Structures are given as C-alpha cells and as structure tokens.
Amino acid sequence: MTRPAVWIGWLISRLLLCWLIWRDQRPFGDVRYYFNGVTGLDPTALTEYPDAGVWPVRFLALLTGDTWGAFQVGFLFMCLLLDAAFLTLILRRTDRSRLTAGWFWVCFGLAVGHVFYLRLDLFPGLLVAAFGALLFHRPAWASVALAAATAVKLWPGVLAASLVGGLRRAGTWLRLLAFFGSLAAFALVTVVTSGVDRLISPLTYQGERGLQIESLAATPFMLDAHRNPTDYWIGYSSSKSFEIHGPITDGAVTAVDVGMLVVLGFAVIVAATMMLTDRWHPRSALAFALLLVLLLIVTNKVFSPQYLVWIGPLLAVCLCVSADWQVRAMAVLTVIAAGLTFLIYPVHYDVLYQDIASAGLPLTLLVARNGLVVLLTLLSAWWLGRVVFKELGQRGCPAEPQRAHGRA
C-alpha cells in the first residue's frame, strides 16, 4: 500500500460514484430543496436546519445565482472538494495506520452512494472528525470544531461529554469554555442575522417527527406491515420524511424518546465520573465519542440514509490512531452497512413506501443493515472498555497528558 495507490483508488471510486449519481438523479431532490430554500422559491424550506447548517448552500448560491443547473453541479463539486481535502489530511503521513484509514475512506465514500455527495451531512461529519483528530494535540481547538459541528447539525452537542476531565484540571475548563463560548458565538450570529426564531425552529421540529421507516425502532413494524399491509399507513409526512403509522407505533415513538433520554443520561453520568476520577485521555475520549454517535443513531426515531455519513469520518480518525482489532472490524462492517444503505436508498427505496407487501428484498436489506449498526454499537462499547482498561493499567501514566501519543 502506498499513498499514490490510495489516490488512484480514490479517483476511480469517485468517478464511479459521480457516474452513479448522474445515472440516477432522484436523490438530487434534497439538493433541489436546498436550492429552493436559499433562492427564496420556497420560503418555508430549511427551517428545520440550524441556521449555520445552511451557510454552505447560501455561499454556494452567491456563486451560482438562481440557476438550478449551476447550483446542482456546484453542490456536487463542493462535496467532492471536501472529500479530497479530508483524504489529504489523512495521508499527511504514510504510516500503515493512515494508509488503512485512507483506503477505508475511499471504500466508504463509494459504498454509501448518492447521499455522500448529495446531502449536507458531510459537513458536520467532517467537523466531528476534526474534533476527534484535534483531541490529541489541540484539545481546545477540538472543542471549537465540536461547537461548529453542533451549530451545523445539533446532534454533535452530545459529544461534549467526552470533553470533560478532572474537576481541578485547567484543561477541563479550557475545553468546556472553548466549546460553550464558541457555541454561544454561533448562536449570536444566528440571532443577529436570522432572528431568534431560526435559533429555536430546529429544536421544535425534532418533536414533530414520527417513526421513520428506516429507523431501528420501525423495523419490527415494517416487517409486520409486510405481512399485514392494511394495518399500517406508510407515506410522506409533514415532517418531510417517510413514516410508518399503525398499531402501537405511537408507543414506540415514546419508547424511542425515552431511549434517547437514557443515552443523554449515560453521557452525563460518564462525564461526571470522568470529572470525579480525573482520568481524561484523548484516546478514551475519542472512543467514547464514537460510541455516543452510534447510540444516537440506534435510539433515534429517524435513520435517514445519510446518517451513515456521521460514522465514517470519525471512524477514519480512529483508524489513524488505533490498530485495535475492534476498530478494524468496525471499519469493515461500516463499509458493508454503507453498501446495504445504498441498496436500500435509492435502489429499492420506492417499493418500501409504495408497496410494502412486495418489499421482501428491501426489508431483508434493511434488517441486515440495522443489525450491523447494532453490532457496530456493541463493538464500539467493547473498544471503549478496552481503551479505558489499558489506560488504567498504565501505571505512572498521567490522567491528562501534556502531549498525547498517536497524533491524529
């Protein structure tokens, strides 16, 4: 494995990905939605996104004007540049771990398909990856990157729990101050430029969502709907996603909401434990962050196909700093899960909501993909336990090292 070989693989895979995108342009629907929102064609569009989350498409619209074709190509090219920039950072050095991470990124981007380049989720995903990498040598800047990711997509805010260290450590308060100070700055910019309503609208939108058909919680209902299609309604809802409604699905939504609260409680408990025990280390913080990302997906009532893009960038950073078999196994399983996601959306997606009774193959793919995500979560928890155990076993190792090993 050499760096030129990785770049050749990237070029071939991205040409193939662009060909797939141009061959099936149905997933451009979200890009069209972005275009309608930023050009004023649909004043109600994009209010569910944090204001900072749409800054990239606003900037793009300044360059392309109100021409849909130019915006369409520009969005694809913008994501392509971000993809290449991330791979450039991964391959700054050519040790084996970075080459492995590079090949993972090449394979992941192709496997996940259209949503890799045709959704805004690549932006928060890469910002979270920057957070993970900076933990090892610029933890305060890692906090700033995490605040930016939170301002863009909200969910990364939960990862702030991984910033917490010893109560009496100056580093703990520096990281937290950098995170909350930066987040406040983003909020202030939103209020000044777009008003208080745009600060609140993404939060109120989340409460309106039902059980999205690809979520883990929806899986048993989708299987039952396959056998008893008249008992369920599956269609496009006011939350701008495809949902399933039927017997006890409302109860499932409540259960999932409780599950999400349990994850938040778990994050707080771990953060409090780290503060009391004074054992913060960037490697365990990174492992904890990855576990939280997976738990947020598993306990979410929505699992849009682009949510896989939340995992890939951070896992690439994990590959750069760890040769543990759990991380390598997660990389392989993530690529497989990404490929299954592509086969679900866009390849077989229409039949899932149009004719559930004949959706045997798409449902099989969905069950397999969701099962892999659960397995990824278990492996992530195993890796976190292994990392923490190794850190506790290193006598004389400082709880918060001045300069951590395994720079990302």
Q: Is residue 130 part of a domain?
A: yes
Q: Is residue 12 part of a domain?
A: no
Q: What sign does the CA torsion over 318, 322, 327, 329 have?
A: positive
Domain of residue 183 covers 120-393
Give mean pLDDT, residues 227-246: 93
Q: What is the pLDDT of residues 334-379, one digit of tens each?
A: 999 999 999 999 999 999 999 999 999 999 999 999 999 999 999 9
Q: What is the mean pLDDT of the chain?
A: 93
Q: Is residue 403 part of a domain?
A: no
Instruction: Quote the number of domains for the chain.
Output: 1
Residue type, 311: I
Q: Is the pLDDT of residue 406 over 50?
A: no
Q: Is residue 252 part of a domain?
A: yes
Q: Which pTM does this prediction carry?
A: 0.94
Q: Is residue 407 part of a domain?
A: no
Distances (CA, A) of 69 to 90, 166, 231: 32, 53, 42
Note whether 282 and 400 are within 8 A (CB). no
Strand stretches in 273-405, DSSP E: none
Q: What is the pLDDT of residues 159-210, one digit of tens each?
A: 999 999 999 999 999 999 999 999 999 999 999 998 888 888 887 777 778 9
Q: Is residue 107 part of a domain?
A: no
Q: What is the pLDDT of residues 260-314, one digit of tens each?
A: 999 999 999 999 999 999 889 999 999 999 999 999 999 999 999 999 999 999 9
pLDDT the model gives residue 392: 82
Q: Is residue 115 part of a domain?
A: no
Q: Is residue 402 part of a domain?
A: no
Using DSSP's 3-state secondary structure scheme, residue 245 falls into: strand
Nearest CA to 257 among 310, 207, 204? Answer: 207
Give mean pLDDT, residues 10-34: 96
Reading the block at residue 129, the tokens are 């990856």
Q: Is the pLDDT of residue 396 over 50?
A: no
